[in-house]
Chains A and B, each alone.
Chain A
C-alpha cells in the first residue's frame, strides 16, 4: 500500500503479561563474537536433531573433508551429519547423556588443512520445492535449541500459512548468541527470510525480539524498512517469550490446539540463526560446520560469544575461555531449559546455543517443603496450566484429571519450578504427566 511507505516505520509491540521477569544475566550481549581456532578433536554424535539417529558413513582411519557427509539415516524425520573439519577419523565411540540416552559419536582429529569436500557447492534453487530439498540436504535443524529438522518443518502445505514467524526472542537468561547473530549478520537473516517469502508465497514475516535487545530491534527495523512484508515485533522481556506457542499467541493472537502444530493455525516459526543459516547455505553450499555459543557462568574467567566448530569438546572450550574456579556444574544450553553434562568430554552439538560452567554455589538446592498454595506456578505459567494441580493428579496416577488439566500442553519452560517457594519439582512432574497422557492416548488408539 502506498500510504504505508510514507508513514514512519511501524513499531509493533506486544504488551502481554505472560511469564515472569527473570534476571537476564546477559553479560556477553555486547561482546563481538570471537572465533575459536580448530580444536584438537571434534566429537560428532550421530543424533544432533529430533528424529532418527544417523548411521555413521565413515570408519576408523578414514580421511574426511570439510562438509563431507558422515552420518545419514533412511527416515523421514532426521537430519544428516557433516564433518566440520578435514582430518582423520580416530574412533567411533559410544556417548551417554545425563538423561539416559546413548548415541554413537564419530571422533575426528583435524589435520589443520580444512580442505573442502567436492560435494560442497551452492544448491540450485528454482522454486520452493527445490529450496526445501536443499535445506533437507543441508542437515539444518532448528538452531534455537529444539533441533527439529528445518527442511522437514518447511516441507508442509503453505497455502494456509499467512505469517512466517522468526524467533529472535532469546528469552533464556545468560544466552546472547542469537542476539549476536542478529547484530553481526543481519543481512543473512533478512536474505533468508526474503528467499523463503519469495519462493513460498507466504505474504508476511514477523521477527519477534524481546525488548531487552533494543539495538537489534532498531537495526532490523531499519534494514527491513524497504520490504513491506517484513516487520519486527517487540516482545516484553519476560521469560518464556521465546516459546513457540507464546510467540504465536503474541504475534497473531492464535492458540495452537491441543496435539496440533503451529501450521494448523496458519503460522510457521524458525529461529533467527536458522534463517541466516539458510541464506548462507544457499549462497555457499556449506552445511553448518560452525556455530556461535555463549560461554558463561561464574566459573568462566572470560565469558564470551564464541564461534566454535560443531563437535568441539567442552574441555577445550573451557580451556580457551579460562576458568576462574573449578566448575561444579556444566550446562549445555541455557539455565532454564539446558541439560547438565556428566563430564567435560561432551561436544558442542549444532543446536546448542550456550555452554555454562557454574561454581559450587549453583549446586545448592533449597530443600523441598510443603506446597503453600501460593499460586505462583499457576500465575506464571505461559500456557495457563495449573502445575501444582497437575503434580497432585500425577502422583495419584489420575489420568482423567490430567486430561482435564491438559498436562500435555506443557512447553517445558521450567518457570513453575523456578518460581516455587517450596521448591517443588513441578517442571518434571508436569513433563512426566504429559508423557503419561500421551502414552495413555497411544494405548487407547492401540
Chain B
C-alpha cells in the first residue's frame, strides 16, 4: 500500500500486569525527602556548634553507609546503600550526640545502629527498634560523661554566659529564654536544639507527604497536655530536649511505627505519656529516646490490635450467610 502502515512494533510489545503506571516515589526518594527535611537542623547545628557539628554528622553518615556497604558485601546481599536509609540513620544518630563526642564513640554508635539494630534483624523494614535511638541509648549508657558534655552554643540571643553541662530540662540548669530554645541557642545534642529548624523540616515532610501529621502532633500534644496538667511550662517542654527531633524524625520511622491511623495515634499517645513520666518523675532529664524505644517494642501488638476493618468485612449481626 502506498500509505505505508506505520503502526508496526518492531520489537515484541512489553507485557506487564496491571497497574501499568506507578507513582514516582521509591524508597530512595522517600529517604531523600527525609534527608532534605533534616537539612535545616543540620544548618542550625553548624551555626550553634561550629565546624565540629559538621564533622560529627559527616563521619556518622560515612560510618553508617560504610557499615551497611560492608554488611551487604560480606553477606553477599544486594547492595542497599543507595536506598539512603543508612545515610538517614547516620544523620539522626549524629543529631543525637553532643558536638564534643570523641569520633571513636560515634563510630561505635553507628555500628550498634546499622549492624546490631538493623542488619541483624533483616535490614530495612524489618528492624523492630529505631537504629538511631538504640545507637544513642547505647552510647548514653556506655559513655554517660561524654554524652552529656555539651558545648555552649556559639551564637546566643540572650546576653548571658551560660556554661553548664546539662540540658535545659535539668533542674540545675540556669534560666534560658524561650526564644533561645526555639531558635536553638541552648546546650544539647546536635540536632535537637533548634525547634524552628525541625519544624521547617516537618513542614517539608508534610508537603511531600513523606509522613502524616498524626504521630508528631499527637506525641507533642500529649506532652503538652501532661505538662499543663502537672503545672509545667508547656512551651518550654515542647521546645526543650529531643522532643521535637524525636517526634518528627524518629517516632515517624516507618519500620518502627504502626501502620494504621488508629495504631499511630495509640503509639504517639504512648510516647507522649512515657516521655512526660520520665521527664517529670523519673531520674533522667530526658525521656524521648527511651519512650520511643519502649513504644517501638509494642508496634507489632498495636498493629495486630488496630487493624482496619475492611469495607464489607464488618461483623455480621443479622441474617448470617446469605450465600452458599
Contacts and interface: CB of A to CB of B under 8 A. Distances in A.
Contact of B16 (A319, A326, A365, A388): A365
A249 B22 contact: no
Interface stretch (B38-46, B47-55, B222-230, B316-324): B316-324
Interface string B74-88: 000000100101000
Given A362-B20, A365-B16, A386-B259, A249 B5 contact: no
A358 B10 contact: no
Given A257-B316, A329-B13, A421 B27 contact: yes
B254 A374 contact: yes
B141 to A, nearest CB: 27
A417 B22 contact: yes
Interface centre among A337, A373, A378, A385 (most CB of B within 10 A): A373
A191 B111 CA distance: 72
A390 B77 CA distance: 25
Interface stretch (B118-126, B152-160, B195-203): B118-126
A9 interface: no
A322 interface: yes
A319 B11 contact: no
Main secondary structure, interface of B, reads loop
A343 B9 contact: yes
B2 interface: no
Contacts of B322: 257, 260, 264
Contacts of A342: 12-13, 15
Given A370-B123, A373-B255, A336 B310 contact: no
Interface string A187-219: 000000000000000000000000000000000
A438 B142 CA distance: 55
B133 to A, nearest CB: 16
B13 A330 contact: yes
Interface string A372-386: 111100110011111
A353 to B, nearest CB: 14
A362 B308 contact: no
A425 B212 CA distance: 24
A386 B22 contact: no
B6 interface: yes
Given A319-B5, A342-B15, A362-B20, A375 B259 contact: yes
Nearest to A379: B261
Interface string B3-25: 00111111111111111111101
Interface string A340-371: 11111000000000001010001101100111
B6 A338 contact: no
A422 B22 CA distance: 11
A50 to B, nearest CB: 17
Contacts of A258: 312-313
Contacts of B312: 245, 255-258, 260, 383, 406, 409
Contacts of A6: none
Contacts of A318: 6-7
A386 B11 contact: no
A159 interface: no
B260 interface: yes
A366 B27 CA distance: 10
A363 B14 contact: yes
Interface string A255-273: 1111110001000000000
Contacts of B11: 326, 328
Interface string B121-140: 00111100000000000000
A314 B322 CA distance: 43
A328 B30 contact: no
A14 to B, nearest CB: 14
Given A362-B20, A370-B124, A375 B311 contact: no
Interface of A: 22, 98, 173, 245-246, 249, 255-260, 264, 314-316, 318-319, 322-323, 326-331, 335-344, 356, 358, 362-363, 365-366, 369-375, 378-379, 382-386, 388, 406, 409, 412, 414-415, 417-423, 425, 427-428, 441, 445
For the complex of A and B, 9 pairs with smallest distance between CB atoms: A414-B19, A318-B7, A375-B259, A384-B308, A363-B14, A255-B312, A374-B254, A372-B125, A335-B20
Given A370-B27, A418-B21, A441-B324, 14 more contacts: A98-B15, A255-B314, A258-B312, A264-B322, A318-B6, A319-B5, A326-B10, A337-B19, A372-B125, A378-B260, A409-B312, A419-B25, A422-B27, A423-B22
30 contacts: A249-B311, A315-B5, A315-B7, A315-B8, A319-B7, A327-B9, A327-B13, A330-B13, A335-B20, A338-B18, A342-B15, A356-B20, A362-B21, A369-B27, A369-B80, A369-B83, A370-B80, A370-B124, A370-B126, A372-B85, A372-B255, A373-B259, A382-B311, A383-B310, A409-B310, A409-B313, A414-B19, A415-B19, A421-B26, A423-B22
